[in-house]
Amino acid sequence: MKENKVIRLKDDIKLSNPILLVGLPGVGHVGKLVVEHLIEELDAEKIIEIYSPHFPPQVLVNEDSTVKLVNNEIFACKANDIDILILTGDHQSASTEGHYELGDLYLDLAEELGVSRIYTLGGFPTGQLTHTDEVIGAANNPVLVEEMGQYGIEFKENEPGGGIVGASGLLLGLSQFRKLDAMCLMGFTSGYLVDPKSAQFLLGVLSKILDIEIDVTPLEERAKEMEKIAAQLAEMEQQQQGQQQFLPDTVSNDEDLRYIG
Amino acid sequence: MKENKVIRLKDDIKLSNPILLVGLPGVGHVGKLVVEHLIEELDAEKIIEIYSPHFPPQVLVNEDSTVKLVNNEIFACKANDIDILILTGDHQSASTEGHYELGDLYLDLAEELGVSRIYTLGGFPTGQLTHTDEVIGAANNPVLVEEMGQYGIEFKENEPGGGIVGASGLLLGLSQFRKLDAMCLMGFTSGYLVDPKSAQFLLGVLSKILDIEIDVTPLEERAKEMEKIAAQLAEMEQQQQGQQQFLPDTVSNDEDLRYIG
Amino acid sequence: MKENKVIRLKDDIKLSNPILLVGLPGVGHVGKLVVEHLIEELDAEKIIEIYSPHFPPQVLVNEDSTVKLVNNEIFACKANDIDILILTGDHQSASTEGHYELGDLYLDLAEELGVSRIYTLGGFPTGQLTHTDEVIGAANNPVLVEEMGQYGIEFKENEPGGGIVGASGLLLGLSQFRKLDAMCLMGFTSGYLVDPKSAQFLLGVLSKILDIEIDVTPLEERAKEMEKIAAQLAEMEQQQQGQQQFLPDTVSNDEDLRYIG
Amino acid sequence: MKENKVIRLKDDIKLSNPILLVGLPGVGHVGKLVVEHLIEELDAEKIIEIYSPHFPPQVLVNEDSTVKLVNNEIFACKANDIDILILTGDHQSASTEGHYELGDLYLDLAEELGVSRIYTLGGFPTGQLTHTDEVIGAANNPVLVEEMGQYGIEFKENEPGGGIVGASGLLLGLSQFRKLDAMCLMGFTSGYLVDPKSAQFLLGVLSKILDIEIDVTPLEERAKEMEKIAAQLAEMEQQQQGQQQFLPDTVSNDEDLRYIG
């Protein structure tokens, strides 16, 4: 497989000015958790599969021990009369160049499907294990920024300071060349753990924007479990810092925490 | 060499619905040990050599001090009236994209040779130095999973949890696009050492599936040697863990063990 | 986006033998600081934007929360009757091959715009936190070296010993194939910190060469702030070295300092 | 520069069955030291320059402060009526695929110039700081191995065990496809230091093979200097090992030694 492979699962897709939600794996898996939840709650239908030599050479194993070549997928659903497309997947590109190539492929498909606006969803790493109910946003044109002000999204000058890396940011940048409205919403998250609590809050903001109602109970339950783990980790971290006053600093502590995420 | 190079060593290969066994270097070198043993026991003949710019820039040195450019190779043999093809080699691809490109090349050759089913063979890393006689499987369609149930292969929901990385998994995924049956069999292994004991057990399972008899004595002997080394390592590890109660944790211990594999 | 994308913002650019100043991110960000200052002081106008799949997959966030896909840009201005072009940007290429491809693209644009001479600006890492007012130079032909001798630029045999890595050096090398005069000016800098003080001195040398007057007050102010930080770091470093006499050496100290730059 | 660039400096090169010596940077820089010495002693003339996007994006600075884009070069000379070509350079390929591409480019040039035999020269890392006067060899056909037996070259079964990595090995492997005789000669060296002593011994062996006389005095002098440094390092290493009995193991010690090479 030298080229990306796009498999269209349906011949007759009729959508009216759909919006595209993008939730790929990333910081705290916040974006992916949100769209996975939406796919289930809104009973979304898979319409496109995307395979690429830029994804890792890997298959995942299903419940029935069959395998699935890692890919990205587009789902379609309807909520409150709005046509919604959802892009999610197992991985982002493994290479710099692949990111740009796949980014344009996603936008080609978005244009083909008549997408009117893109929301990319992600996490904003705070480095703190304590949770904050905050969503920070950025957009690819100032009109969108203004329009979004009413939904409790924070817009801060030049924040995130390190920019937005990966598909969530790149899709905003690349869609500027196509005059396509796109904005990125990032839930605050530690950056160390999969974070359903952040996903839950981000989903609340998104629901307000789209004016739809979504049952968040399943995310809430996962969030409670993760909160316990985070509390344990915070305690461990505190203890370790105590110890480190008497021991030379090593690489391992930070690394260990990071591997959990 | 900008492109893969396929050298066909025989003009007239007549095979009847051959199966393809794939044993490339990987976890514990389990898959490679199995097929190397089969090549010797079944007196298999090399029919194809594959060279690729995606392999490391390296030659190996033969017994007579001549060199061999690293490659992958396909052998043919017959056992109990079944035509068997065997793909093995010195390396897997050094790059992500190369994995996909070589994967498709192998399947092109499999189709050209009329392959009816593929078995990829590998190791499943347990992280434990003590051995378990277990083989875990995955397949690219549910009928195969069911058929294989009778041979003592474990099929566990979503296991391996991290999926299957490299050629063993990728060939299952890519052959789905070609309606080609493929399954992966992985022997349990520590993940730290070349593991002929795991290979021996995996070979036993494979022999039952193919209904052929294979003398495993040579593997058994290598297994006994490795068992001694594993026992020594386990002892060393235990001693080190004792010491580490009084010393800060460093990166080096784990790494050292891993370099042996 | 599989190819570099060049966006020309103006149709009618008339320049008379312009010189090209190149200040991309690099050691101490010295080169970038100099050209950013010039762009502001000389009120330079952006005429070209360059996007590339060899840049990281990233957008930066503007003051108004809109995003900017990372890129390189060319500005035009006039000072003391000299036409000046300035190449600057957010990143250098993320890959080896991309460096060569972008290097040739920059030179294609330079030739298209009639550039008569190129000055690439960068930092020379001394590894010392104390500042020295020195600029070291290299050129792609001996006539240029001689001509530059009068401006207080140091030319040392085979210095920098490790050569010049990245766009600053590559543009000198690649322009040799086009008979285009190019020289590199590097301000001495620690290599650990963004260094406006080094930029200020380099700008002074450049002003003499171009015979233009530039107000350096803004750089001076930033330099004073950085001097305080450097002093604090030097003190911390001294304290750490004291402690290390009693503790085994670890990787972390050096690394920490490096992450600041 | 998207493609390799070959610059031929002479139009009329008439050679009679030349041999090609290859000495690129590698373990202990042994191969490069040997051919640099030969280029000087035999007053070889540069006939070809090779530039490539697979080399690092770097220029080196000459004595007169002009720059040189890193490249590989081919020189021609005559010794005892034998036409000798020498391939040397600043770097090997920075990427796996580049190694294969450049390897074929070198062999294309070798065939164009009528090369009858290739000797690649390198170092064999022993991991010991004490020197041994030994050269190990490998060839791309058994006749060559036998022919070379008389020159004091060691040929050991399957040695080096890890194969030969980089251009020295790859050129042997790739020339098998062209029925071109090629052999690799590797001087024993620590692997930590640039090693003129090893180069001196390797040059002696090569002189016997080619039946030419070469003054090795300059190499001898550099060798003496390096011997002193090696002795100091060996002493330091011994002292460090003493200390480490009382201190936890860290990554840094080994690494430090390696950075010297």
* pLDDT band per the 50, 70, 90 thresholds, residue C229: confident
Chain position carrying tokens 């007579």? B64
Query: pLDDT tier at C241 (50, 70, 90 boundaries)?
Result: low
Answer whether C1 touches A (CB < 8 Å).
Answer: yes
Residue D13 lies in a domain: yes
In a domain, D178, yes or no: yes
- Count C/D contacts: CB-CB distance under 8 Å: 104
Look up the pTM and report it.
0.89
Amino acid letter for position A18 = P
Spatial distance between the Cα atoms of D106 and D96, rounded to a whole number of angstroms: 16
Q: What percent of chain C shows pLDDT beyond 70?
A: 92
For residue D241, the model assigns a pLDDT of 60
Contact residues, chain C, for D64 at CB < 8 Å:
142, 145, 157
Closest partner residue to A1 (CB to CB) among B103, B137, B156 is B103
pLDDT at D228: 84
What's the gap in Å between the CA of D167 and the closest CA on chain B?
7
b/e per residue C192-219 (b: at least 16 CB within 10 A): bbbbbbbbbbbbbbbbebbebebebeeb
Chain A closest CA to C143's CA: distance in Å? 40
Model confidence over D82-126: pLDDT tens digits?
999 999 999 999 999 999 999 999 999 999 999 999 999 999 999
**B65 and D138 in contact by Cβ < 8 A?**
yes
State mean pLDDT over A207-229.
Answer: 87
Is C228 inside any structural domain?
A: no
Q: Give the gap in angstroms from C-alpha A111 to the nearest C-alpha of chain B.
A: 26
pLDDT at residue B241, as a whole number: 60
Question: Mean pLDDT of all residues in chain B?
Answer: 89
Using a CB–CB cutoff of 8 Å, tell me whether C121 touches chain D. no
Interval C21-40 mean pLDDT? 96
**Which CATH number goes with the domain that contains B40?**
3.40.50.10900
What pLDDT is recorded for position C251? 29
Query: Is the model more confident about C88 or about B220?
Result: C88
Calpha distance B25→B79 (Å, rounded): 24
Nearest to D251 among B58, B65, B251 (CB): B251
Which residues are CB-contacts of C108 (< 8 A; sequence separation ≥ 6)? none
Maximum alpha-carbon separation in chain C: 67
- What's the pLDDT band for D242 if we cut at 50, 70, 90? low
Helix ranges (H only) for D23-65 are 30-41
Backbone angles phi, psi at D216, to 5 degrees: -100, 5
Compute the distance between CA of residue C190 and CA of residue C261 in angstroms, rounded to an integer: 9
Which residue of chain D is at minimal alpha-carbon distance from C248?
D247
- Whole-number pLDDT of residue A241: 60
pLDDT in tens, D34-76: 999 999 999 999 999 999 999 999 999 999 999 999 999 999 9
Whether D257 maps to a domain, the answer reads no
- Cβ proximity of C198 and C187 under 8 Å: yes
Mean pLDDT of all residues belonging to chain A: 89
State the CB neighbour count (10 A cutoff) for residue C227.
15
Are D189 and D215 in contact, with CB atoms under 8 Å apart?
A: no
Instruction: Using DSSP, state whether D31 is helix, strand or coil.
Output: helix
Contact at CB, B174 and A1, closer than 8 angstroms: yes
pLDDT at A235: 80
Give yes or no for A97 touching C (CB within 8 A). yes
Grade residue C240 by pLDDT with cuts at 50, 70 and 90: low
Percent of chain B surpassing pLDDT 70? 92
pLDDT for A257 equals 31
Using DSSP's 3-state secondary structure scheme, residue A159 falls into coil
Whole-number percent of chain A with pLDDT over 70:
92
Cβ B165–A250 below 8 Å, yes or no?
no
C-alpha dihedral (C164, C165, C170, C176), degrees to nearest 10: 30
Helix (H, G, I), strand (E, B) or coil at C104: helix
What whole-number distance in Å separates Cα of residue D92 and Cα of residue D166? 8
The answer, for D172 touching chain B at a CB cutoff of 8 Å, is yes
pLDDT at residue D231, rounded to an integer: 80
How far apart CA B162 and CA A45 sit, in angstroms, is 26
> In this model, does residue A228 exceed pLDDT 70?
yes
- Partners of C167 on chain D (C-beta within 8 Å) are 57
pLDDT bracket for residue A251 (50, 70, 90): very low
In a domain, D245, yes or no: no
Residue B74 in contact with residue B85, Cβ under 8 Å?
yes
Q: Give pLDDT tens digits for D184-228.
A: 999 999 998 899 999 999 999 999 999 999 988 888 888 888 788
- Cβ atoms of A27 and A125 within 8 Å: the answer is yes
pLDDT confidence bin for D252, thresholds 50/70/90: very low
Average pLDDT over residues D15-30: 96
Q: Which residue has the tokens 């060349």?
A: A177
Q: Does B3 touch chain D (CB under 8 A)?
A: no
pLDDT for residue B237: 72
Interface contact B69-D101, CB threshold 8 A: no
Interface test with A, best of B2, B52, B96 (most A CBs within 10 A): B96
Lowest mean pLDDT among A88-97, C43-52, D231-240: D231-240
Integer CA distances (angstroms), D78 to A257, C200, D38, D110, D215, in order = 64, 55, 11, 16, 15
Residue in chain A closest to C249 (alpha carbons) equals A248
Q: CB of D127 within 8 Å of any CB in chain B?
A: no
Among chain C residues, CA nearest to A3: C2
Q: How far is the CA of C238 from the CAs of A245, C127, C129, in angstroms?
A: 19, 14, 11
Residue B137 contacts A where some CB pair is shorter than 8 Å: yes
Query: In the structure, what pLDDT confidence band is assigned to residue D246 with cuts at 50, 70 and 90?
Result: very low
Specify the pLDDT at position D219: 86
What secondary structure does DSSP assign to D112-146, as a single string? HTT--EEEEEEEEE-S-SS----EEEEESSHHHHH
Q: By mean pLDDT, which of A131-140, A219-228, B210-219, D99-108 is the weakest?
A: A219-228
User: Do the domain assignments include residue D156?
Assistant: yes
State mean pLDDT over C82-97. 97
Mean pLDDT, chain D, integer: 89
Range of the domain at B161: 5-222
Q: Which residue of B has its CA nearest to A95?
A: B96
D50 beta partners: D6, D72
Put simply, whether D145 touches B (Cβ < 8 Å) is yes
pLDDT in tens, A158-206: 889 889 999 999 999 999 999 999 999 999 999 988 999 999 999 999 9
Q: In this predicted complex, what is the ipTM?
A: 0.88
Q: Is residue B237 part of a domain?
A: no
Distance from CA of B163 to the nearest CA of A (A): 4
Q: Which chains touch C (3 or more CB pairs under 8 A)?
A: A, D
- Are residues B58 and D139, on separate chains, in Cβ contact within 8 Å? no
Query: Measured between CB atoms, which of C96, C161, C249 is closest to D95?
Result: C96
Please give the sequence-ordered ranges of beta strands (E in DSSP) within chain D, or none if there are none: 5-8, 19-23, 45-51, 58-61, 67-69, 72-79, 82-89, 117-125, 135-139, 164-165, 181-189
Which tops the pLDDT comparison, D250 or B164? B164
Q: How many domains does chain A have?
A: 1
Tell me, yes or no, if C252 comes closer than 8 A to chain A by beta carbon: yes
Assign B90 a pLDDT band (cuts: 50, 70, 90): very high
Residue D152 DSSP SS3: coil
CB contact under 8 A, C103 and D57: yes
d(CA A261, CA C42): 48
**Selection from A193, A234, D252, D127 nearest residue B251 by Cα:** D252
Residue D162 lies in a domain: yes
pLDDT, one tens digit per residue, over A53-95 is: 999 999 999 999 999 999 999 999 999 899 999 999 999 999 9
If DSSP codes are grouped into helix, strand and coil, which group holds residue C131?
coil
